[in-house]
A and B are shown apart, each in its own frame.
Chain A
């Protein structure tokens, strides 16, 4: 049996055992509909509201400002489309490195007549708050910038951006899916009006997430039906999932700080180890302002997917920075926006570490990478080595 090492925590994480345990009663005997007024319904309602309180406390916001959704993607859609729908027309400022849940939502709104500015980033993937200031127009209705990028891990200066946006009295949405429960998020200090967060990136179940909506923020519902979630998101809540998310947040509250320090050290061990053994490697992303467990390594003149497959055969799970779909290669839009040259961007591999990652895992991966890259380069007509 080969060793199995999972370094794809930015894609998803294993559900924490305490989370599973907390969810089980809600998959079993506590099956009522939380909107029902009878005892069965109220048991489910209690689970739902306990989770809401926990998350509100964690973010230091009001309980009524939390809306549950079906995933980070829905949270992003609700925030951006919801604000756009409440205003009817206008201009949106975002960045070129957003998750597709924001980017494609903005593109859809453009086709419906909204104007959108896609801000550039520097070579580390940082948005310049001054660019935000310059992009804001009299008709700007929303600024949406992610907290940390999932591919390269760069953490954006959302406090500074938030200050710029708040001065102008414009709603500020932050996609916090990759930072929530991993690094501190200062909702108040960053002037955030809407914050997307998800469960399956922090050892909770998939298909459940939330959106923080500051009291008074004008946001229309984009899904219509019953009175759920204070009429901001219709549909019977995913009670077991939400209970799991609440538990996951509680566990992160205990573990987050120590875990961030541990993962930063392991991540640096990984990049240093690979750099010491493999020529022509670069680290994509900001050298310091980066998610603790994220290392995006660019191997020049090798194709990412062949490295991913090579590592997969060694039991190591990482993800390819550029994806070839149906014979059409798409170098990552994030790396392109950062100006990473194509011969490096095509060989980008994202390693994202998590709770279960050990130093032995990291050393094993370093050991595996070197011969894989060497062999691929030896057989490559484009590599000089």
Chain B
């Protein structure tokens, strides 16, 4: 198998997939090269991402990365999430093949955008 067991598990059972009604913040990122799209929604309590949901359009790794990213982000301080590194997402997936690195990029960028959205309005 071309993908790690962790990636396959996230793809098979994505955590936190779907729309969030009236979120406290949203962030989006599109990967220009291939049209992969990730959108993240945050519910924020006491400065932390209490609930995280996402929607994605893209290849399997992008869907898995969004799921892993949503787990990573849950419970974290929103200010911290503004600096979320794509490597953390890739690590949570147990690695990505060279031609699928963009999956972690697009997801980390969307989470950072959601965090910025909240901070810009609340801090």
Contact B59 A313 (CB under 8 A): no
The listed residue (B36, B63, B98) touching A376 by CB distance below 8 A is: B63
Chain B residues with CB under 8 A of A306: 11, 58-60, 62-63
Q: Which of B17-49 contact A (CB under 8 A)?
A: 17-18, 28, 31, 33-37, 39
Tell me how many residues of A have a C-beta within 8 Å of chain B. Answer: 23
Min CB gap A304→B, angstroms? 8
Contact B17 A378 (CB under 8 A): yes
Q: How far is the CA of A325 from the CA of B18 in the complex (A)?
A: 27
Q: Which of B58-102 contact A (CB under 8 A)?
A: 58-60, 62-63, 66, 98-102
**Segment of A107-115, A138-146, A221-229, A326-334 engaged in the interface with chain B:** A326-334
B118 within 8 A of A: no
Q: How far is the CA of A310 from the CA of B10 in the complex (A)?
A: 12
Given contacts A313-B12, A327-B102, A328-B33, contact A379 B55 (CB under 8 A): yes
Given contacts A329-B35, A381-B37, contact A303 B58 (CB under 8 A): yes
Min CB gap A301→B, angstroms? 7
Contact A380 B34 (CB under 8 A): no
Contact A309 B18 (CB under 8 A): no
Q: How far is the CA of A49 from the CA of B64 in the complex (A)?
A: 54
Given contacts A309-B11, A326-B99, A327-B99, contact A379 B35 (CB under 8 A): no
Chain B residues with CB under 8 A of A313: 8, 11-12
A24 within 8 A of B: no
Q: Which of B96-111 contact A (CB under 8 A)?
A: 98-102
Min CB gap B49→A, angstroms? 19
Min CB gap B63→A, angstroms? 6
Min CB gap A20→B, angstroms? 27
Chain A residues with CB under 8 A of B63: 306, 376, 379
Q: Which of A79-109 contact B (CB under 8 A)?
A: none
Given contacts A326-B99, A329-B35, A381-B37, contact A305 B18 (CB under 8 A): no
Most buried by A among B37, B39, B62, B63: B63
The listed residue (B18, B34, B55, B66) touching A327 by CB distance below 8 A is: B34
Most buried by B among A301, A313, A327, A381: A327
Chain A residues with CB under 8 A of B98: 326
Contact B60 A380 (CB under 8 A): no
Q: How far is the CA of A301 from the CA of B39 in the complex (A)?
A: 15
The listed residue (A302, A346, A380) touching B55 by CB distance below 8 A is: A380
Contact A310 B60 (CB under 8 A): yes
A27 within 8 A of B: no
Q: How far is the CA of A376 from the CA of B31 in the complex (A)?
A: 18
Most buried by A among B37, B58, B59, B62: B59
Q: Which of A340-385 contact B (CB under 8 A)?
A: 346, 375-376, 378-383
Min CB gap B13→A, angstroms? 10
Contact A381 B35 (CB under 8 A): no
Given contacts A328-B33, A329-B33, A346-B35, contact A379 B59 (CB under 8 A): no
Contact B57 A380 (CB under 8 A): yes
Min CB gap A300→B, angstroms? 12
Min CB gap A4→B, angstroms? 14
A324 within 8 A of B: yes
Min CB gap B90→A, angstroms? 14
Most buried by A among B35, B62, B98, B102: B35
Contact A309 B57 (CB under 8 A): no
Contact B11 A379 (CB under 8 A): no
Q: Which of A291-328 contact B (CB under 8 A)?
A: 301-303, 305-306, 309-310, 313, 324-328
Min CB gap B105→A, angstroms? 8
Chain B residues with CB under 8 A of A346: 35
Chain A residues with CB under 8 A of B37: 381-382
Most buried by B among A301, A325, A379: A379
Chain B residues with CB under 8 A of A310: 11, 60
Contact A327 B31 (CB under 8 A): yes
Chain A residues with CB under 8 A of B11: 306, 309-310, 313
Q: Can you give 25 contacting A-B residue pairs, CB < 8 Å?
A: A301-B57, A302-B57, A305-B60, A306-B58, A306-B59, A309-B11, A309-B60, A310-B11, A310-B60, A313-B11, A313-B12, A324-B36, A326-B98, A327-B33, A327-B99, A327-B100, A327-B101, A328-B33, A329-B34, A378-B17, A379-B14, A379-B18, A380-B55, A381-B28, A382-B37
A contacts, CB < 8 Å to B: 301-303, 305-306, 309-310, 313, 324-329, 346, 375-376, 378-383
- A sample of 5 more A-B contacts (CB under 8 A), given A306-B62, A313-B8, A324-B59, is A302-B57, A303-B57, A313-B11, A327-B33, A329-B35
| Closest 3 pairs between A and B when the two form their complex, measured CB to CB | A329-B34, A309-B60, A381-B55
